[in-house]
Structure 1
Amino acid sequence: MWINIVEDEKNLNTILKTYLEKEGYSVRSFLNGNDAIEAIGLETDLWVIDIMLPDTNGFTVFNKIKEITPNAYIIFISARNQEIDRLVGLEMGCDDYISKPFMTRELIIRVNKLLKMSAKDRNILKAGKYKIYLDRHKVFCNQNEIELSAKEYDLLVYFLENPNIALSREQILERIWDNAYQGSQRVVDDTVRRIRKKMPELKIETVYGYGYTYEKK
């Protein structure tokens, strides 16, 4: 899972990134709001955002995130420790709020609560704006359902469960169509083509002469 930290205090930024990576998360960090806003299109499960930033404020970053990735979790942090910050953040729809100074472990607990302790999340795969509900066999782009055939769905999940790995057509046939399939490998290409058409922002790249890979940033 990906976490983005937006914190202008460099030492605190580094500490939070280090501890979150020790928990097994992939972490990007930003020292200002504008750089963070430019990264909103990257796959992100949770944002940790300082309200006070040198070039803008955390509320502005929050609004930009919700415009593009409304399902991302957001935790606000603030040094001001004012009740108004907490109330504004919660009214805007943030998932949690923590006041400085705080123990790093406290933030880790809150992050884990949002990302690891939810049974619902364990049944969801995310790829940018796409969400795959494994328990329901349904795929959504924001709030709109994407209709996939059974094989398209199975292949999509296979890609998402094996990111950044080149999968040969033979591997895909064996996994999705099993050994009983006697047809051409062209069925793999046709199925990938249909997934690309229905989910154009999904980064499924062709490995020429071999197969395909899902590129997860």
Structure 2
Amino acid sequence: MALRVLIVEDEPEMAALLRRGLEAEGYVVDTAPEGVHAMTLANDRPYDIAVLDVMLPGMSGFEICRWLRRQDEALAILLLTARDAVDDRVKGLDAGADDYLTKPFEFVELAARLRALRRRDAIGGARVDVGTLQIDVAQHSVRTDGRELRLSRTEFDLLRLLAINTERVVPRSEILDSIWGSTAHVDPNTVDQYVSYLRKKLDASSTTARIVTSRGVGFQLIAPPRI
């Protein structure tokens, strides 16, 4: 069954271009020029992926993202932003976005990001424990000492990847390929940014698990035993 994508974009030419490209990739696509229309569509039918422009009339892409995330935790959300400021990226992640693209971008890059999001959903498995972390792969949830650790989809996928490879350092290139589906269209610094977001959340929790950096190579999740 074809996956259904919701595009929220107020520029008609851009919306039409994205629609044609994604339909050629085999997706079923609906478009909305602003937030109220998008919310109406999302109430009427389920979507697998949402592609949201940040700069929209009325509700911003961040606000729509928060609303969509409250309706469906499993929805994959990609933000399109004309600004590359770190604050915008952090705001998008905090709103519940899984990934973002900065305009202008090539359609092949967007398609690669969506394929990567689809692969994440295809990953099976049960539970992975690292120290006090309990990572439920099927439910996309993380708990430590009985408390839920709230992570964005991308933060969860990064933690899962590190958790199933605790015996080794995971190279940046492998992280890019596993989570974003490519090393060609993604800035390698993106990995460091997401590691930083995840590390702060781990450090603020009660877990014994920590992410360590192997300079010039990659990252490893370790969990010293409790005494």
**TM-score normalised per structure 2:** 0.51
Aligned residue number for residue 39 of structure 2: 37
Q: For the Cα contact (< 8 Å) 2:63–2:95, is it kept in 1?
A: no
2: CA distance between counterparts of 1:93 and 1:117?
16
Work out whether 1:46 is the aligned partner of 2:27: no
2: CA distance between counterparts of 1:22 and 1:116?
19
2: CA distance between counterparts of 1:15 and 1:60?
24
Which ranges in structure 2 are unaligned for 5 or more consecutive residues? 125-137, 140-227
Q: 1:62 corresponds to which letter in structure 2?
A: C
The structural deviation recorded for 1:116 is: 4.3
Aligned residue number for residue 12 of structure 1: 14
The structural deviation recorded for 1:90 is: 1.6
Q: How do residues 88-167 of structure 1 correspond to structure 2 at under 5 angstroms?
A: 88-116=91-119, 118-120=121-123
SS at 1:40 equivalent: helix
Which ranges in structure 1 are unaligned for 5 or more consecutive residues? 122-135, 141-217
Aligned residue number for residue 67 of structure 1: 70
**TM-score normalised per structure 1:** 0.53
Which one has a bigger Cα radius of gyration? 1
RMSD: 1.9
1: CA distance between counterparts of 2:58 and 2:30?
19
The structural deviation recorded for 1:36 is: 0.3
Q: 1:25 corresponds to which letter in structure 2?
A: Y
Aligned residues: 123
Q: 2:33 corresponds to which letter in structure 1?
A: L
SS at 2:58 equivalent: coil
SS at 1:66 equivalent: helix
1: CA distance between counterparts of 2:116 and 2:66?
23
The structural deviation recorded for 1:117 is: 6.1
The structural deviation recorded for 1:102 is: 0.6
2: CA distance between counterparts of 1:94 and 1:9?
21
1: CA distance between counterparts of 2:10 and 2:119?
27
Q: Report the identity percentage.
A: 33
Q: How do residues 161-200 of structure 1 correspond to structure 2 at under 5 angstroms?
A: none
SS at 1:39 equivalent: helix
Q: 2:93 corresponds to which letter in structure 1?
A: L
> Structure 1 residues 21, 116: closer, same or farther in 2, change over 3 A?
farther
